A and B are shown apart, each in its own frame.
Chain A
Amino acid sequence: MKRVPLSRGELRELAVWVEQACGIAIGPDKGYLVQSRLGPLVEEAGCRSYHEFLQQVASGRLASMRDRIVDALTTNETSWFREPDSWLRFEKHVLPLLRERFGPRLRAWSAACSSGQEPYSLVMLMAERSRRGLDEGLRVEVLASDLSPSALFVARSGRYAEFAARRGLSGRREAILHRYFEREGRFFVIRPEVRGRVRFKMHNLLDPVPWVGRLHLVMLRNVMIYFSPAVKEAVLRRLTGSMPAGAILWLGGSETLFGLSAPLAPLPGVRGFYEVKR
């Protein structure tokens, strides 16, 4: 299904309604956020445009959508080691494979890193493994990018309010909070040795890959679900252009590339991971 376009006028119209309905202020730079969060709802409602969607919601015909719109615009899914099973699969199957294929110098790119939880999780995972005496000689260069300056500001600063710092770090992962963060009042701050291991850049996935050189692992989790097939293919074309054969694309747990034209194949037996095929 083609992504429903969002014009500037519709964004303004939507911003006025959302602000009145639930107080959320949507700036003109949030078109991407609105499309990614509300696009599925617009499609679900069978509307051909945001204008039509809004009219239906405002008129009461789609009144039940109101709470879902608020949820969609306010829910922040980001957490440390998001989708823990996927991280276990990465650790058990993918990391050894990458080392076997590309040697001890690996480059990983978290391509929609939001406020930094994903790339820092990778650095912390590697540090944890190193503590356990694993991966001797292995070095992973971690690159990260996002479209949002605000998210990147937080990522680069490595500072998280307590509720954000604790998301995903309960139970057996709680030790990570104490090991790799320093407490500063109501905040947790990533320790400099972890923070310094990630290079951040502002980047739109539709633009050329911002890094020079080959990428052995690209993390693109729970981002593609918001794109139309044509956009997905364009993004994949760009990414795989910087990935050697055998490099790995890491998707969200519920995502697939089924039906898309791209030089990628599912990594056998490892759900959520694809390998570049030439």
Chain B
Amino acid sequence: MTNRPEVPDRAAVLAAVDAVDNLPPFPEVVAEVRDELGRPDPEPARVAALIEEDAALAARFLAVASAPRYSPTAPPRTVRQAVVRVGLAETARVILAVAVYERFRRFGPPDARAFWEHGMAVGLLGATLARMADASPEVAELAYTAGLLHDLGELALYHLYPEVSAAIAARSHKTGRPNHEVERAALGVEHGEVGGRLASRWGLPADLVAVVAFHHRPWAAPVDHRRAAQLVHIADFVAKHVGYVRAEDVPGEDFDGGAWAAWGFSLDDVDAILERARASGKEAAAFFA
């Protein structure tokens, strides 16, 4: 594959990521909702107003808020009601997922739903693992966000090079080798780095950029962000291992033993982790249903 002329090299891929102007920007509403929630007196009405600026986003948010877990009796009639039902903190997480899905579902791999379902499963599980290990709420939040977005680079690669990306996925499936390895062999760069580059260009926070960039090589992540990268790395493996993975993707065959040890997990945790991974996957599947 590396010898085919149509396959770009590392420099070409990174230049294309830097120059890509037909991928839409990261949805601003995510940061706006977060800013509102960061105020001393966050107001559901103001959060609702931000969401209502985008009709598609508002409709999807209402649909999510109508799920029995938020609305056991009757569905919310207004976005404001939905914000109250979901809760302010949870609203930020839901809006992130809904906004990126709405904006990017036409880009990236053909099965957008499975792609984002996997992302959300990793995000939810990452946050759960953080709580299992008594990490701070900030780390859990970062694990959720970075987990959701960790394969952003795949989305960019599919958008920029759909045929090459499809060939990489097929090769990965055929050989049983993880796609990031096949990408690096073919392109000289893997989707983690590509995603980190894109996230950085979008001005997303440095910790998020680092976790996205190093989720397949957490040992190489900057020290300040290494633990979060390790967590998403493990969550990615486990989510794939319980089946929340795109059809052509290969279930994770290996995770970094250093990451496992750094988080203090043991073999006795395996059953609990698997159970939580299944729950995260089900929740993610329900979210995008």
Does B274 lie at the interface of the complex (its beta carbon under 8 Å from any beta carbon of A)?
yes
Query: Is B254's CB under 8 angstroms from A187's CB?
Result: no
Which B residue's beta carbon lies closest to that of A201?
A: B267
Q: How many residues of B contact A (CB 8 A)?
A: 38
The residues of A that contact B217 with a CB separation of less than 8 Å are: 25, 27
Does B108 lie at the interface of the complex (its beta carbon under 8 Å from any beta carbon of A)?
no
CA of A25 to CA of B237 in the docked complex: distance in angstroms? Answer: 15
Mark contacts of A163-206 with chain B using CB atoms, 8 A cut-off: 1 yes-contact digit, 0 otherwise: 10000000000000000000011110000000000001110000
The residues of B that contact A221 with a CB separation of less than 8 Å are: none
- Whether A186 touches B243, Cβ cut-off 8 Å, given contacts A25-B217, A156-B267, is yes
Does B55 lie at the interface of the complex (its beta carbon under 8 Å from any beta carbon of A)?
no
Query: Is A20's CB under 8 angstroms from B188's CB?
Result: yes
Query: Is B180's CB under 8 angstroms from A202's CB?
Result: no
Does A13 lie at the interface of the complex (its beta carbon under 8 Å from any beta carbon of B)?
no
Query: Is A161's CB under 8 angstroms from B257's CB?
Result: no
Does B183 lie at the interface of the complex (its beta carbon under 8 Å from any beta carbon of A)?
yes
Does A150 lie at the interface of the complex (its beta carbon under 8 Å from any beta carbon of B)?
yes
Query: Is A28's CB under 8 angstroms from B180's CB?
Result: no
Which A residue's beta carbon lies closest to that of B247?
A: A186
Mark contacts of B238-258 with chain A using CB atoms, 8 A cut-off: 1 yes-contact digit, 0 otherwise: 100111000100110111111
CA of A156 to CA of B254 in the docked complex: distance in angstroms? Answer: 14
Query: Is A161's CB under 8 angstroms from B250's CB?
Result: yes
Which B residue's beta carbon lies closest to that of A154?
A: B241
The residues of B that contact A21 with a CB separation of less than 8 Å are: 185
Query: Is A23's CB under 8 angstroms from B241's CB?
Result: no
Q: Which of B176, B181, B190 has the most CB of A within 10 A?
A: B181
Query: Is B256's CB under 8 angstroms from A29's CB?
Result: yes
Does A19 lie at the interface of the complex (its beta carbon under 8 Å from any beta carbon of B)?
yes
CA of A23 to CA of B271 in the docked complex: distance in angstroms? Answer: 32
Which A residue's beta carbon lies closest to that of B188?
A: A20
Within 8 A of B (CB), among A72-123: 74, 76
Report the minimal beta-carbon distance from A59 to chain B, rounded to whole angstroms.
20
The residues of B that contact A184 with a CB separation of less than 8 Å are: 243
CA of A159 to CA of B253 in the docked complex: distance in angstroms? Answer: 11
Query: Is A25's CB under 8 angstroms from B216's CB?
Result: yes
Query: Is B251's CB under 8 angstroms from A161's CB?
Result: yes
CA of A2 to CA of B193 in the docked complex: distance in angstroms? Answer: 39
Query: Is B183's CB under 8 angstroms from A23's CB?
Result: yes
Report the minimal beta-carbon distance from A57 to chain B, rounded to whole angstroms.
16
For chain A, the bracket of interface size reads 20 to 34
The residues of A that contact B184 with a CB separation of less than 8 Å are: 19-20, 22-25
Query: Is B243's CB under 8 angstroms from A187's CB?
Result: yes
Does B202 lie at the interface of the complex (its beta carbon under 8 Å from any beta carbon of A)?
no
Which A residue's beta carbon lies closest to that of B179?
A: A23
- Whether A150 touches B260, Cβ cut-off 8 Å, given contacts A23-B186, A25-B180, A157-B270, is yes
The residues of A that contact B254 with a CB separation of less than 8 Å are: 148, 150-151
Mark contacts of B197-220 with chain A using CB atoms, 8 A cut-off: 1 yes-contact digit, 0 otherwise: 000000000000000000011110
Which A residue's beta carbon lies closest to that of B177?
A: A74
CA of A85 to CA of B147 in the docked complex: distance in angstroms? Answer: 46
- Whether A153 touches B177, Cβ cut-off 8 Å, given contacts A22-B185, A23-B182, A186-B243, is no
CA of A126 to CA of B34 in the docked complex: distance in angstroms? Answer: 58
Mark contacts of B102-143 with chain A using CB atoms, 8 A cut-off: 1 yes-contact digit, 0 otherwise: 000000000000000000000000000000000000000000
The residues of B that contact A151 with a CB separation of less than 8 Å are: 254
Contact of B181 among A23, A149, A156 (CB under 8 A): A23
Report the minimal beta-carbon distance from A198 to chain B, rounded to whole angstroms.
12
Which B residue's beta carbon lies closest to that of A159?
A: B241
CA of A84 to CA of B265 in the docked complex: distance in angstroms? Answer: 35
Mark contacts of B259-289 with chain A using CB atoms, 8 A cut-off: 1 yes-contact digit, 0 otherwise: 0110001110011001000000000000000
Which A residue's beta carbon lies closest to that of B181?
A: A23
Give me 21 A-to-B residue pairs in the complex whose CB atoms sit less than 8 angstroms apart, sorted by A's number. Answer: A23-B177, A23-B190, A25-B181, A25-B184, A27-B258, A29-B256, A29-B257, A29-B258, A29-B261, A74-B175, A149-B260, A151-B254, A153-B267, A154-B241, A157-B274, A159-B241, A161-B251, A184-B243, A186-B243, A187-B243, A202-B267
Instruction: List 19 extra interface pairs beyond A23-B181, A29-B256, A186-B243, CB under 8 A.
Output: A20-B184, A23-B182, A23-B185, A24-B184, A25-B180, A25-B216, A28-B258, A29-B257, A148-B254, A148-B257, A149-B257, A149-B260, A150-B237, A150-B257, A150-B260, A153-B241, A153-B270, A159-B242, A161-B250
